[in-house]
Amino acid sequence: MKFPKTHTLEQIAGIINSKFVGDKDFPVLGMNEIHVVTKGDIVFVDHPKYYDKALESAATIVLINKEVDCPKGKALLISDDPFRDFNKLTNHFKPFISSNKSISATAKIGEGTVIQPNCFIGNDVVIGKNCTIHSNVSIYDGTVIGDNVIIHANTVLGASAFYYKKRPEGFDQLLSGGNVVIENNVDIGASCTIDKGVTASTTIKEGTKIDNLVQVGHDTVIGKKCLIASQVGIAGCVVVEDEVTIWGQVGITSGITIGTKAVISAKAGVSKSLEGNKSYFGIPADDFRSKYKEIAAIRKIPEILEKLKNL
C-alpha cells in the first residue's frame, strides 16, 4: 500500500507515538507485508525469529519491538507492539468508510455492464465494460474488475484477511488495507469468497474460470487461464501460475507456489510448492508416479508382516 504522498520518518513516528532511529526526514512511501515490500516501505516484525529477514528485506523502514543496529540506508521505528502500530497506520491511511447506497457514488462502472438487483458496490470500485454482476454480490471498497467478467450470485469480493495475533484476551485481527483485482474475461461462480490483500492485491488473472463455493485467501495471485472447481480452499499468499487445473475440494496451505499447467486432483491436500506440468493427488499431495508407488508399498505391509510372523 503506497501512501497518497511521501511522509517523513518523524511524521510516521508521530502517528504511532514511537521512537525512531534514522534521519527525521527519511522518506516513507508506503507500508507492506514482507513478501511485497519495496524501497520506501515500512515492514513490521515482532518476533526475534524474523528480525534478520525483516532487516535484510527490500523495506527501508522496519517497525520493530527491539532496539537493534540499524542497517545502512534504512531507518527503524521502535514500538512495544508493532502489530498494533501497523494496524494504527492502516487505520490512518486506509480507514473504513461506510456507504449509505447500494452502489457507491464513487464507483466507476463501464459501458454495457449489467448489475442485477440487491448487489452492493463499494467506494472507489472500478468495473470494466460488458460485465454481468448477478444478484446479491458484494464488492467491497477499492476492488478493480476488468472487462467481460461474470460474477454469480452471493459472491463476496474484498472481505478481510484471515490474519490474527493471539493475545491473552483473545485474537487481534490484522487490518486489511489492500484490495482485490479481477482481470479481463474471468468467470466467478456462485457463493465464492475472495479476500483482499493485507496491504497489496489479491489477484485473479485474465481468462481464469472459478466454480461455485471457492475460497481465495489474502494476497494470493491466481494466474491466467486457470480452472478451479467447486469447494476449493486456497490460503493466503499463494501463487498459482498460469493454466493450472484444481479439482474439487482441494485444500492449499499458505505461502506456496503451484507451477504452470499443474493438475491437482480432487480432495488433495497441498502442503508444499508443486512443480508445473505434473499431475498430483492425495494427502499430502504428490505426483501420480510417487503416490502410486507409495500406495503399492502400503498394500504390501500385511504380506510383509505375515512373512515376519513365520520366521
Active site residues: 218
Whether 2 shows a pLDDT value over 80: the answer reads: yes
What is the enclosing helix (H) or strand (E) of 300? none
C-alpha 180: how far from chain center: 9
C-alpha cell at 262: 499443474
Q: Are 175 and 90 in contact (CB under 8 A)?
A: yes
CATH 2.160.10.10 fits 108-291, yes or no: yes
> Is the Cα torsion angle 221, 224, 227, 230 positive or negative in sign?
positive
Which residue intervals of the chain bear CATH 2.160.10.10? 108-291
Read out DSSP for 134-164?
A: -TT-EE-TT-EE-SS-EE-TT-EEEEPP--E
- Flag whether the pTM goes above 0.75: yes
> Is the Cα torsion angle 196, 84, 173, 44 positive or negative in sign?
positive
Q: Are 136 and 153 in contact (CB under 8 A)?
A: yes
Arithmetic mean of pLDDT over the chain: 96
Q: What is the pLDDT of residues 121-178, one digit of tens each?
A: 999 999 999 999 999 999 999 999 999 999 999 999 999 999 999 999 999 999 999 9
Whether 295 shows a pLDDT value over 90: the answer reads: no
Q: Work out the percent of the chain whose per-residue pLDDT is above 70.
A: 100
Which residue intervals of the chain bear CATH 3.40.1390.10? 2-93
CATH T-level assignment (fold) for domain 2-93: 3.40.1390
